Amino acid sequence: MTPRPLDPITFGVLEAALRSACEEMGGALRRSAYSPIIREMLDFSCAIFDANGRLVAQGEFIPAQLGAMGLVVRETLRRHRATLAPGDVFIANHPYLGGAHTPDVNVLRPVFDGRGRRPVAWTGTVAHQVDFGGANPGTEGADHAQLFAEGLVLPPVRLETAAGPVAPIVEIIAANVRDPVSTLADLRAQAAACLVGERRLLELRVRYGGARLRATFEALIDHAERRTRAALAALPDGEAEATGFLDDDGAGGPPTRIHVQLSKHGEAMTVDLTGSSSQVAGGINVPWASTLASVAYLVRAITDPTIPANDGTLRPVSIVCPEGSVLNPRPPAAVSVRHLTIQRLADTMVRAAAALWPEVAVAGHFVGFFSLMAEGPSPRTGRPTVLQDVVGGGSGAHGARRYPDGRVAPGGDGLDAVDTHLSNVGLLSAEVCEVEYPWRLVRSELIRDSAGDGHWRGGRGIRRTYKVLAEPQRVVLYCEQTDPRFRPWGAAGGEDGTPTRLIVRDPSGRRMRVPSKGTVTLAPGSTVTIETGGGGGFGATAAARPTGVARAD
């Protein structure tokens, strides 16, 4: 029986249903997870893929995971297509097989038709596991020299079958992580979220038929491509470039260069990253999945963020990035702190785009992405637990913007204390910090005068002070933009934001000499204070600010 053509109303209903299914998967994951980085800070994403592993729909969670999970699904298909069976659940985190960094663990489930002969779709989740083994608590380390130091590395393997969990892989994971109770519970939450997605897909299949659902998958990808091409075609043709730097290479070496050249002609765009540094000694190298996600973020930022986030978005875009670059390293280069680099990449791409299209101009954001990780006894249970907090800063101010459809967005101040660009992680609350971990959050406040001034002001940075309460603890710290040369930049005559400051004091209050990226053992009573940068201002300060928008510091 030939299915009826896919009319616009049915297409709209199914598109919304698929997006809703992804959001429901996210709700199930958040409410089932043990670890605060998932249930409180929301460091996860959920998505639906077609039978060939192409991204069809994704919840609006973490931009750093935009468009990247499909690489892991396709690698899973390459390895296991012939043996797939109903009830299978796969796990993978290998950065050179489609993953991002080892703590970002993918859990995937093939969805079968009613006869169980072949998968008709996939559901997938990726969540940041607060610890996945390795030398450091929290697994990450900017001074790692090789991937082998970055915890348990898994190519796509079965985590579950129809008979239940695969005991050997569960035992291997439990033996390699510091808090197996939380880690295994979080993985079960990811698997449960995939099951929620499967149920919604099968409901849609029963109601609309398999052929129509397949047609919707294809139409959604084509729809995203058409809208992206139309939005690009509406922008003026041209070329522009920009350069940004990280403070160092993660291992105490020189600044790491990120270079972006954008070229837009007609309805197609090229992102050339050739001028960036070669892969570096430290752990700030970027696996291809994260570079791909960064470019997907740029495309949505300069076109229209309402365009569906699926594999069609990048069809009009070519990426040039030689193998061996810091943005496309060869294994076994370390990658665990790659988020510092993609934040700088995002800011540099936005700066190049602003030179090409002034109507999308925005000042520089805080992209220093401070993170603290520490292992210690839980005050609640006494078992080993790993703290991780992530602290944002100010976003850049922006001018007015006109969209291709005629809409005009007014200019405005930057946002205060947010996790900018490719990140979207919430702050760890003081209550959760002190209940779950042997730490006290002494101070958490906005920093006066941290934002760049201008016609529109940047957002303010945040100051946080943490105090060690229990036994001496091994603490992993990293941040960026401590070098004033690389602080958030002002645009269109606006002033720069402030650089980052990291201050560590021993129990007597004496300041300790610690690098901005490294590992240190801290005794009880020691404190860690981070002061993140404010965003850049936009427009000359001589111009009067619009009435009614003055902001008091």
pLDDT in tens, 208-226: 999 999 999 999 999 999 9
Report how far residue 212's alpha carbon sits from residue 221's, in angstroms, rounded to the nearest whole number. Answer: 14
Tell whether the model's pLDDT for residue 547 goes beyond 90: no
Report how far residue 30's alpha carbon sits from residue 193's, in angstroms, rounded to the nearest whole number. Answer: 9
Residue 464 within a domain: yes
Task: Give the model confidence (pLDDT) of 446-458 as tens digits.
Answer: 999 999 999 999 9
User: How high is the pLDDT of residue 1?
Assistant: 47
For residues 217 and 366, membership in a common domain is answered with no
Where is average pLDDT lowest: 82-91, 360-369, 399-408? 399-408
396 is in which domain, residue-wise? 361-553
Final residue in a domain of this structure, among 189, 206, 225: 225
**Stretch 6-10: mean pLDDT:** 91
User: How high is the pLDDT of residue 528?
Assistant: 98
User: How high is the pLDDT of residue 550?
Assistant: 46
Which residue's structure tokens are 């080993």? 384
63: confidence class by pLDDT, cuts 50, 70, 90: confident
Percentage of the chain lying above the pLDDT 90 cut: 88
361: confidence class by pLDDT, cuts 50, 70, 90: confident
For residues 61 and 208, membership in a common domain is answered with yes
Residue 381 within a domain: yes
- Given a contact cutoff of 8 angstroms between Cβ atoms, the answer to whether 531 and 481 are in contact is no
Residue 231 within a domain: no
Q: Which residue has the higher pLDDT, 116 or 499?
A: 499
Report how far residue 299's alpha carbon sits from residue 421's, in angstroms, rounded to the nearest whole number. Answer: 13
Final residue in a domain of this structure, among 172, 207, 225: 225
Residue 193 within a domain: yes
Residue 552 within a domain: yes
DSSP state of 291: H
Contacts of 314 (CB under 8 A, 6+ apart): 67, 292, 295, 296, 299
Contacts of 114 (CB under 8 A, 6+ apart): none
User: How high is the pLDDT of residue 405?
Assistant: 65
Tell whether the model's pLDDT for residue 2 goes beyond 70: no
Report how far residue 419's alpha carbon sits from residue 538's, in angstroms, rounded to the nearest whole number. Answer: 20
User: How high is the pLDDT of residue 59?
Assistant: 87
Sort residue 71 into left (φ over 0), alpha (ψ -120 to 50) or beta: alpha
Tell whether the model's pLDDT for residue 247 goes beyond 90: yes
Report how far residue 494's alpha carbon sits from residue 496's, in angstroms, rounded to the nearest whole number. Answer: 7
User: How high is the pLDDT of residue 154?
Assistant: 98
- Of 493, 489, 502, 492, residue with least CA distance to 534: 489
**Stretch 488-517: mean pLDDT:** 96
User: How high is the pLDDT of residue 38?
Assistant: 96
User: How high is the pLDDT of residue 552?
Assistant: 43
- The pTM of the full predicted model, rounded to 2 decimals, is 0.95
282: confidence class by pLDDT, cuts 50, 70, 90: very high
User: How high is the pLDDT of residue 548?
Assistant: 39
Burial letters 353-378, b for 16+ CB under 10 A, else e: bbebbeebbbbbbbbbbbbbbbbbbb
Q: Which residue has the higher pLDDT, 407 or 14?
A: 14
Residue 338 within a domain: no
Tell whether the model's pLDDT for residue 340 goes beyond 60: yes
- pLDDT mean across residues, the chain: 94
User: How high is the pLDDT of residue 192?
Assistant: 98
CA distances from residue 185 to 33, 38, 85, 180, 272 in whole angstroms, order as listed: 6, 11, 24, 8, 42
Residue 357 tokens read as 């299209």
Tell whether the model's pLDDT for residue 316 goes beyond 90: yes
Tell whether the model's pLDDT for residue 48 goes beyond 60: yes
- Of 373, 292, 380, 310, residue with least CA distance to 336: 373
403: confidence class by pLDDT, cuts 50, 70, 90: low
**Stretch 161-177: mean pLDDT:** 98
Residue 507 within a domain: yes
**Stretch 241-266: mean pLDDT:** 97
Final residue in a domain of this structure, among 172, 197, 225: 225
Tell whether the model's pLDDT for residue 309 goes beyond 50: yes
- Of 148, 69, 55, 59, residue with least CA distance to 104: 69
**Stretch 66-95: mean pLDDT:** 94
Residue 278 within a domain: no
Report how far residue 315's alpha carbon sits from residue 530's, in angstroms, rounded to the nearest whole number. Answer: 41
For residues 550 and 401, membership in a common domain is answered with yes
User: How high is the pLDDT of residue 473?
Assistant: 94
**Stretch 66-94: mean pLDDT:** 94
Contacts of 294 (CB under 8 A, 6+ apart): 64, 286, 342, 345, 346, 349, 422
**Stretch 235-245: mean pLDDT:** 97
Where is average pLDDT lowest: 53-57, 62-66, 92-96? 62-66
115: confidence class by pLDDT, cuts 50, 70, 90: confident
For the chain, what is the domain count?
2
